[in-house]
Structure 1
Amino acid sequence: MANVRIAPSILSADFARLGEEVRAISAAGADWIHVDVMDGHFVPNLTIGPMVVKALRPHSSLPFDVHLMISPADPYLEAFAEAGADILTVHPEAGPHLHRTVQRIKALGKQAGVSLNPASPVELVETVLGDIDLILVMSVNPGFGGQSFITSQLKKIERLRRLIDDSGRTIHLEVDGGVDAANAATVVAAGADVLVAGTASFKGGPSQYAANIAALKGH
């Protein structure tokens, strides 16, 4: 699993010490910082907005991987881009014109991702495959951390890996939800190259972060 990237989700961090947590997890060997943005409408939870992303930006030089679980997403793309996001990922169901949304993200100078919920079919990303930089497979139903991995998503990951390879493009295949040291190798074997891990990254406090990330990477 030498080439796998670990993107700890700050949803599982200590929100009272968020800047310190981002610094600590960055120093522990994280590759990206995953930021879950939820609106209480598209998914059943409320998290953070652009101002928090902006406040965290000085605390890490790592790419900020911002997952917009909000509907509509379009009105907020510019604010998150200006706040310091490097990757902006949207859901096909969050707006009427996915291609237009992707093009707007690219016009803002950011990498564009598309996320598929557990029941969202692979076909939703096929028509924008030539325009995106990342596909995010949700292996839990979005909204809350600490859920168990939905094993049926392994077949979706395998199918998307074939689709990406056949396209000849470099597109990251990211998996988010219930990923831990016990199943990380299986998820990577299915085709993922980026693992979002919240609980598995942040458990045990800062003294454990480096060991947690090393375990997710398989060493």
Structure 2
Amino acid sequence: MNNFLIAPSIIASDFTRLADEISAIESAGADWLHMDIMDGHFVPTITVGPLFVEACKRVTKLPIDAHLMISNPDQYLEAFAKAGANNITVHVETCPDLPQTIKKIRSLGCNAGVTLNPATPASALDAALPLIDLVLVMSVKPGFSGQSFIPEMIVKVEEIRNKLNALRSKARLEVDGGITVETLPLMYRAGADVFVAGNAVFKHPQGAGAGIKALRDAVARIERW
């Protein structure tokens, strides 16, 4: 597997230089722009909403990967789709009728993603896996940027990759949380093919471009080996 994507998480950027930060990752070859949408209910933090997504959409051609860490996501799907989200990912814990939510996301012209908290077993996704375009595995507890990677999530990624392969699914398998040059190779070997990285990109000492290059080089070293 060498077709992998880097999705910098905008929450780790300098919001006073937002357009410049987005331009930097776009120039550096980022594949998606990841957005952590938090409501202060499902998770304790409040971040951004559809207006922010729409503003970012005006300054980038990158696909926008919206991760809705919110209660009652069905109420806001249309707003995020209209704002320009290309992928909309919801939590299995917040969707009482997950197939219907997936159907709604797709009807809005977006790719449908499903994610789950670290404590939620992979089996919670079984009914949804044949229907979705994206699975997101959280490798930290959702709600705060800069947390430490949870190693036990490597096994969860392996389990979900095996389930997707058994279904011959083309769904992407994304990971988010504590992704660095050390942890990305672990998740890559486990079967992930999209990597959300916040601090590793935007807080890199040599800038976001160097951060993206370092992550790609970490995979290149595996493939050469």
TM-score by length of 1: 0.96
Q: Counterparts of 1:81-100 in structure 2 under 5 Å?
A: 81-100=81-100
The aligned counterpart of 1:45 is: 45
Deviation for aligned residue 1:125:
1.2
Q: Does 1:209 align with 2:211?
A: no
Partners of 1:18 and 1:37 lie apart in 2 by 16
Query: How many aligned positions are there?
Result: 218
Encode CA deviations 1:129-174: one digit per residue, 9 max, x unaligned: 1210000000000011111100000000000000011101101000
Structure 2: which 5+ runs fail to align? 221-225
Encode CA deviations 1:52-88: one digit per residue, 9 max, x unaligned: 1001102111110000000010010000000000000
Deviation for aligned residue 1:95:
2.6
Partners of 1:214 and 1:23 lie apart in 2 by 15
Q: Counterparts of 1:27-42 in structure 2 under 5 Å?
A: 27-42=27-42
The aligned counterpart of 2:196 is: 196
Deviation for aligned residue 1:48:
0.3
Partners of 1:107 and 1:61 lie apart in 2 by 22
The aligned counterpart of 1:144 is: 144
Deviation for aligned residue 1:29:
1.4
Q: Counterparts of 1:114-133 in structure 2 under 5 Å?
A: 114-133=114-133
TM-score by length of 2: 0.94
Partners of 2:16 and 2:119 lie apart in 1 by 34
Partners of 2:165 and 2:138 lie apart in 1 by 20
Deviation for aligned residue 1:208:
2.1
Answer yes or no: is the 8 Å Cα contact 2:65–2:86 preserved in 1. yes
The aligned counterpart of 1:164 is: 164
> Which residue identity does 2:63 align to in structure 1?
P
> Which residue identity does 1:27 align to in structure 2?
S
- Larger RCO of the pair (alpha carbons < 8 Å, separation 6+): 1
Where 2:131 maps in the other structure, the secondary structure is: coil
The aligned counterpart of 2:187 is: 187
Answer yes or no: is the 8 Å Cα contact 2:24–2:209 preserved in 1. no
Partners of 1:203 and 1:216 lie apart in 2 by 13
> Which consecutive segments of 4 or more residues in structure 1 shift more than 3 A?
none
RMSD: 1.2
Answer yes or no: is the 8 Å Cα contact 2:74–2:101 preserved in 1. yes
> Which residue identity does 1:66 align to in structure 2?
A
Where 2:185 maps in the other structure, the secondary structure is: helix
Answer yes or no: is the 8 Å Cα contact 2:31–2:62 preserved in 1. yes
| Higher mean C-alpha deviation, range 18-27 or range 65-74 | 18-27
The aligned counterpart of 1:12 is: 12
> Which residue identity does 1:119 align to in structure 2?
A
Structure 1: which 5+ runs fail to align? none
Partners of 1:213 and 1:102 lie apart in 2 by 31
> Which residue identity does 1:183 align to in structure 2?
T
The aligned counterpart of 1:110 is: 110
